[in-house]
């Protein structure tokens, strides 16, 4: 793989593991300053395309949630459980793929994941209303497949690019989280509207997945060389030494998975930023699942639309919300990366401070959006857009924090652990929790469209408070980030 290193992979790098053996002294090897070249950018483009499909599949169900709820006759609590099953399977699989990604061929892991989740998505398009449990199972299996991609793909991009370009490329990669999410809403709602059958929403992304698999096979090398901390730190000066200058110096010690976990638990920048990401996941998970349905109920209360008694139901809110998610996602990720790039020059703690500020501002906009939903739907869309915009600022910045406070040989494990924690305490439970709170409130009152709306509005207020806690966690990250970064570079 063209990573601008002009030497053959070191013995420990050929083994694809997070372990490194003792090596003898060696000569200095020059490093090109021209970057990874066209091949590197082409590989990154393929990985970005895969990430797009990944998150489109995440949000197909929320895009047609009202229709699915009517089709399977689900309560709010059961409907929220659909996304919870998906996320639970995703987060349980993430540490497994993190372990495999640090030790085995990453191209094979990515290809197998794409093939598996695309096949399951296609199969789920043939499920009838009598087999709702099969639909729940299929969403869980899709979560297993997508975990392989989210865990491994960012580490390949990190190895392809040096620090300055790495931030830019990761920003582009993570732009496809909100873009893919928004397109998932648009695709699902659009296919349901066009065909009159929501099942067709699950027959497009498998075709896109097949193309991604072909591109992965043809363009991504079988062996993906890993940069060590020394590679990344010394490549800035234009030279790199493949071995220590003094005999007997170890490049890195062999470590077990348990030792990696213990080391990461002592890395406070990683711990606090992961908890901040958990708060983000909690908020985005609840919003992503329920906002179109919440907007529908607000419109019913205002008399703007008639209640949908039988499916098919209008998915216009999903189309609008999907468009907002795409636009704010692109703008937010680009703005976050650019602001971070500029502020790092004057403040070494810029990244966590940016994340903290964006979480606080997002919490304010989300709270206002919830409060005005009953009286002005246009204002609700506007405030939701700003809330999503400031949440999106953090996507690439949080990942970049992880990549420079964690040594490269533990990065796949760190990403997998972060995925596990953020989803376990974040969006694995938030859709279900919001649905359960809504059910509980509705159970205490006579059934009405007004209380159907109020119950979800009161449930959503929890998200604004969680966002404030997220900002606090990122503030705590700023106290440790300089020390942890220096330690990772050694």
Q: Where are the beta strands (DSSP E) in 86-172?
A: none
Give the integer Cα–Cα distance in Å for 45 and 212: 11
Q: What are phi and psi of 265, to 5 degrees?
A: -70, -25
419, 91 in Cβ contact below 8 A?
A: yes
One domain, residues 157 and 282: no
pLDDT reported for residue 164: 66
Does any domain span residue 167? yes
Give the integer Cα–Cα distance in Å for 260 and 253: 11
3-class SS of residue 31: strand
Q: Based on the structure, what is the number of domains in the chain?
A: 2
One domain, residues 277 and 131: no
One domain, residues 377 and 476: yes
**Containing H/E element for 471?**
helix 449-478
Give the domain CATH number at 203: 1.20.1250.20
One domain, residues 265 and 350: yes
Give the integer Cα–Cα distance in Å for 397 and 400: 5
Which structural domain, as residue segments, surrounds residue 173?
A: 37-221
Supply 119's token pair.
Answer: 């096949």
What residues contact residue 52 under an 8 Å CB cut-off, 6+ apart?
176, 179, 180, 183
413, 18 in Cβ contact below 8 A?
A: yes
Supply 330's token pair.
Answer: 């692109």
One domain, residues 188 and 286: no
Supply 35's token pair.
Answer: 């970057």
Instruction: List pLDDT tens digits, range 282-312.
Output: 998 898 888 888 998 898 888 887 777 666 6
CA pseudo-torsion sign 69, 74, 79, 85 = negative
Give the integer Cα–Cα distance in Å for 359 and 350: 14
pLDDT reported for residue 224: 54
Does any domain span residue 188? yes
One domain, residues 302 and 396: yes
One domain, residues 373 and 465: yes
Nearest partner of 160 among 1, 289, 390, 320, judged by Cα: 1
One domain, residues 210 and 279: no
Query: Which pTM value belongs to this model?
Result: 0.72
Reported confidence tier of residue 27, pLDDT bands at 50, 70, 90: very low
One domain, residues 208 and 304: no
pLDDT reported for residue 17: 33
One domain, residues 371 and 438: yes
Does the structure show a pLDDT above 80 at 468? yes
Per mean pLDDT, which of 98-112, 375-389, 423-437, 476-490 is the most reliable? 375-389
The DSSP 8-state label assigned to residue 225 in this structure reads P
What mean pLDDT value characterizes the chain?
80
One domain, residues 274 and 180: no
Beta bridge partners of 451: none
Beta bridge partners of 241: 28
């Amino acid at each position: 793989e063209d990573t601008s290193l002009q030497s053959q992979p070191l013995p420990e790098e050929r083994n694809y593991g997070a372990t490194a053996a003792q090596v003898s002294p060696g000569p200095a090897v020059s490093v090109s300053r021209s970057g990874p070249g066209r091949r590197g950018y082409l590989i990154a483009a393929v990985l970005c395309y895969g990430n797009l499909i990944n998150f489109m599949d995440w949000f197909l169900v929320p895009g047609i949630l009202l229709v699915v709820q009517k089709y399977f006759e689900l309560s709010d609590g059961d409907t929220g459980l659909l996304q919870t099953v998906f996320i639970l399977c995703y987060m349980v699989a993430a540490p497994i793929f993190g372990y495999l990604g640090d030790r085995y061929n990453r191209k094979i892991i990515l290809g197998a994941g794409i093939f598996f989740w695309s096949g399951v998505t296609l199969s789920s398009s043939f499920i009838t209303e009598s087999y709702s449990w099969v639909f729940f199972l299929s969403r869980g299996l899709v979560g297993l497949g997508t975990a392989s991609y989210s865990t491994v793909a960012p580490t390949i991009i990190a190895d392809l690019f040096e620090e300055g370009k790495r931030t830019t490329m990761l920003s582009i990669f993570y732009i496809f989280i909100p873009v893919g999410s928004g397109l998932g809403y648009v695709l699902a709602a659009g296919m349901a509207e066009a065909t009159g059958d929501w099942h067709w929403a699950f027959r497009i992304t498998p075709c896109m997945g097949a193309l991604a698999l072909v591109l992965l096979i043809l363009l991504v090398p079988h062996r993906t060389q890993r940069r060590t901390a020394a590679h990344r730190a010394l490549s800035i000066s234009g030279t790199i030494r493949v071995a220590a200058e003094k005999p007997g110096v170890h490049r890195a010690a062999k470590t077990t998975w348990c030792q990696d976990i213990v080391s990461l638990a002592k890395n406070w920048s990683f711990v606090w930023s992961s908890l901040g990401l958990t708060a983000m996941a909690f908020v985005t998970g609840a919003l992503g699942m329920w906002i179109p349905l919440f907007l529908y109920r607000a419109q019913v209360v205002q008399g703007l639309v008639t209640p949908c008694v039988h499916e098919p139901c209008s998915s216009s809110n999903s189309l609008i919300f999907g468009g907002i998610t795409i636009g704010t996602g692109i703008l937010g990720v680009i703005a976050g990366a650019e602001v971070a790039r500029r502020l790092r020059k004057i403040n070494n703690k810029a990244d966590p401070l940016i994340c903290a500020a964006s979480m606080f501002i997002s919490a304010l906009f989300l709270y206002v959006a919830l409060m005005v939903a009953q009286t002005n739907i246009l204002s609700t869309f506007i405030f939701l857009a700003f809330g999503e915009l400031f949440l999106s600022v953090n996507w690439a910045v949080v990942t970049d924090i992880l990549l420079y406070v964690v040594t490269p040989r533990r990065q796949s494990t760190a990403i997998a652990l972060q995925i596990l924690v953020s989803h376990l305490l974040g969006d694995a439970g938030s859709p279900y929790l919001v649905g359960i709170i809504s059910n509980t409130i509705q159970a205490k009152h006579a059934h009405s469209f007004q209380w159907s709306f109020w119950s979800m509005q009161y449930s959503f207020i929890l998200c604004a408070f969680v966002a404030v806690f997220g900002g606090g966690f990122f503030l705590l990250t700023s106290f440790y980030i300089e020390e942890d970064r220096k330690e990772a570079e050694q």
